[in-house]
Amino acid sequence: MTAVRVYPLTFEPLFRNYIWGGRNLEALFGRKLPPGIVAESWDISAHPSSPTRVDSGPLAGLTLPQVQDRLGEALVGTRSRWATDRGRFPLLVKLLDANCRLSVQVHPSDPYALAHEDGELGKTEMWYVLHAKPGAELIYGLSRKTTPASFRAALEDGTLSDLLHCLPIKAGDAILVPTGTLHALLGGVVVAEIQQNSDTTYRVYDWGRAGTDGMLRPLHVDKALAVIDFDRVCPQAYRPVVVAESNGLRRAEISRCRYFVVEKVELEGEAAYCGRCDGSTFEIWGCLSGQAEVRWAGDPLPLAVVRFALLPAALGDFALQADGRATLLRAYTPE
């Protein structure tokens, strides 16, 4: 490995133009977009299909997988040694503009995906709702206990909606979506998504909608039925757990699973969050509202709204300082 001093990393986003997208990332948050429909902005990604490139500093131009090859454990930390061994960065960060409803879908667990998807991982994810139109909902789990046979029959006779749990949502809600959970954003919603580094999705139902080629998009019913958690009945949004509150700083845990912990960090006035990347885990920070900057041993890194930064595990001491009032997301890997 070439010796490179680690520093906070930001990336050039990559965009995907699925049929359910829109222009809300531009209209609501000022994100510069290419022409046409934009459904997803992949902001920190090492997935082979869409690796993001560092946009500044000594590592500028390198993709995140190339940075991981260069820095190894100094980037991901000791808690993610498995990722270093596999050459895989653990997490992926996106913005989703669900201008129209997504397909009803489910993600497999790691064991199922590794066995059936050519070595791909499963996909646990979380959403933080940045914007929701009045009355917005999402599909989240089942409305009642059912069986794979009854579920398939409902698909075939057009009564699937009777089995789907619709959850009202608003800006500021956090939704943890474990593997096996049926889910779909239903339109009029923009979310930040933090997830396992995977793109494995099984579509169950797509509203009879054609793709850009005029053909119905493929479904994956058999695989979906093999992985759906039929015990996920009427789940609710993640209840925030306040972990610190004093002197203009408030931290609340809004998702926790074996792959990541996500906190909502609110800063007011001159308040700052002071932390240390001690070699155990990287941290990902995103600014959701207001403005903030990452302060460390080098030049401060400004974070504008819906902008994310990756702090390498070996970065050392750092602070997040707000300019007035700001709301941020913090993600890291648990022990």
Which domains are seen in the chain, by residue range? 11-227 (2.60.120.10), 241-332 (2.60.120.10)
What residues are paired with 284 via a beta bridge?
310, 331
CA distance from start to end of the chain: 26
- In contact, 178 and 124? CB cutoff 8 Å: yes
Q: How many CA atoms lie less than 13 Å away from 203 in the CB half-sphere?
A: 12
Q: Is 264 left (phi over 0), alpha (psi -120 to 50) or beta?
A: beta
User: Nearest CA to 167 among 109, 211, 233?
Assistant: 233
Which H or E run contains 222? helix 221-227
pLDDT of res. 3: 64
pLDDT of res. 269: 85
Phi–psi pair at 6, nearest 5 degrees: -70, 150
Task: State the Cα–Cα distance between residues 217 and 241, nearest whole angstrom.
Answer: 40
Q: How many CA atoms lie less than 13 Å away from 131 in the CB half-sphere?
A: 18
The structure tokens listed for 145 are 């206990």
pLDDT of res. 21: 97
pTM score of the predicted model: 0.96
The structure tokens listed for 97 are 């503009």
Task: State the Cα–Cα distance between residues 151 and 148, nearest whole angstrom.
Answer: 5
Per-residue pLDDT of the chain (335 residues; tens, 9 = 90+): 446 789 999 999 999 999 999 999 999 999 999 999 999 999 999 999 999 999 999 999 999 999 999 999 999 999 998 887 888 899 999 999 999 999 999 999 999 999 999 989 999 999 999 999 999 999 999 999 999 999 999 999 999 999 999 999 999 999 999 999 999 999 999 999 999 999 999 999 999 888 878 888 999 999 999 999 999 999 999 999 999 999 999 999 999 999 999 999 999 988 999 999 999 999 999 999 999 999 999 999 999 999 999 999 999 999 999 988 999 999 999 99
pLDDT of res. 215: 86
Q: How many CA atoms lie less than 13 Å away from 49 in the CB half-sphere?
A: 9
pLDDT of res. 194: 98
User: Nearest CA to 30 among 87, 95, 86?
Assistant: 95
Task: State the Cα–Cα distance between residues 112 and 154, nearest whole angstrom.
Answer: 25
Which residues belong to the active site?
Answer: 203
